[in-house]
A = this chain, B = another copy of it.
Amino acid sequence: MRVVVALGGNALLRRGEPLTAERQRENVRIAAQALAPIAREHQLAITHGNGPQVGLLALQAASFDQVEPYPLDVLGAQTEGMIGYMIEQELGNLLPFEQPFATILTMVEVDRNDPAFENPTKPIGPLYGEEEAKRLAEQRGWAVAPDGDGWRRVVPSPLPKRVFEIRPVRWLLDRGTIVICTGGGGIPTMYRDDGTLQGAEVVIDKDRASALLAAELEADILVMATDVDGVYLDWGSPGQRKIEDAAPEEMRSHDFESGSMGPKVEAACAFVDTSHGWAAIGALADLEKMVRRKAGTIIRRKTQ
């Protein structure tokens, strides 16, 4: 079977952990142990988050004043390189030498007419005081918005339309290569009027990008690995209960917006709706069981 595993941001770096290379590598090693059994049995493509890593690169760049900080598309490309390298090396260390690997840099198209461009909502980077935030907004053309105790830069989060490198990814999976791609939702790219491509200062929802990748690869299973063992109703209340198995229309009848689960559920449903495959959402440690439908929340059409 062809399996796409989306490693959530929390699977690579827990909230509040220091962003050292060594800590990231330790977490990648844990993820690799969960991925290895799947890699031995199935065709495997791996996607991953990159939020904290882009944040660190931006902070480092901002503290060095001799060169203007790089835009988000370039930072995204840097993190696809770094995280892909760590996954490739650590997962490779658990598998036979003969296993081919490829980390493929991935550009993902966004539509410049996406309504998200009119309404930047995704906060990125550090907290600022109101005055500094407004000064930076003026100076750099940022949109800024209040967030908790301060202000942050906000950028649009448009929907992914196309994975440009989809054919190489497919060709390599066909040859049994483990492919790491579409990191951080892909490098946001859009068409200019003249038909050429340019990077975009946006953040693509990585769950939706993983769902698009999985559908375009005609994957059999999309597994979204996070730090919770499934999708819960009434999460956080005494009566919380896990959804074991449901169709997209049932999942959509609930409201998960309050947590980070909403985008994952929507992405899983989008994959099931646009492909022949089914999806699972659950804990990284349960990865192998999820592929056998023995753990996590399974989302599938009733006929599957």
Contacts and interface: CB of A to CB of B under 8 A. Distances in A.
Interface of A: 18-21, 56-57, 59-61, 63-64, 66-68, 70-71, 73-74, 77-82, 84-86, 88-89, 92-93, 100-105, 107, 164-165, 167-168, 171-172, 175, 177, 187, 189, 196-199
Number of copies: 2
A68 B21 contact: yes
A76 B73 CA distance: 18
Contacts of A18: 67
A82 B77 contact: yes
Contact of A101 (B63, B168, B177): B168
B74 A64 contact: no
A95 to B, nearest CB: 11
A74 B63 contact: no
Contacts of A88: 105, 107
Contacts of A107: 85, 88-89
B100 A167 contact: yes
B165 A102 contact: yes
Top 5 nearest A-B pairs by Cβ distance? A81-B81, A77-B85, A103-B105, A102-B168, A78-B78
7 contacts: A19-B67, A21-B68, A60-B60, A77-B82, A85-B187, A101-B164, A103-B105
Contacts of A164: 92, 101
A181 to B, nearest CB: 10
Contacts of A19: 67
A105 B162 CA distance: 21
Interface centre among A79, A102, A189 (most CB of B within 10 A): A102
